[in-house]
Amino acid sequence: MQTALSIATRTLTRCLVCGSAEVRTDEVVDRGVIFLAECPRCEHRWTARTPIGSPSRPASRVRQPADGAREVATAA
């Protein structure tokens, strides 16, 4: 029997009660995926249907200038 492992990613979220960044997360499959989170500092626990926090490598965004805006040359 072969087990497929997924890549572990770090969640970047804070506790909604005390603000601690040391939130432990997990996911459970029960009629769909349920995401679990627990704060070890204040022991607050919560669940969500969508992933908690974001992956450690967020997608890079390219900033587009506003319509009609021109880029000004540097003074160097």
pTM: 0.53
Determine the longest span between alpha carbons in the chain, in angstroms: 65
Encode burial over 43-74: b for 16+ CB neighbours within 10 A, e otherwise.
Answer: eeeeeeeeebbeeeeeeeeeeeeeeeeeeeee
pLDDT score at 58: 47
Domain definitions of the chain by residue range: 11-53
The residues that bridge with 36 in the sheet, in sequence order, are: 26, 47
Interval 10-62: pLDDT, tens: 667 889 999 998 999 898 998 889 999 999 999 999 998 888 765 544 445 55
DSSP one-letter code for 65? P
**Selection from 7, 8, 42 nearest residue 22 by Cα:** 42
Residue 75: pLDDT band by 50, 70, 90 thresholds?
A: confident
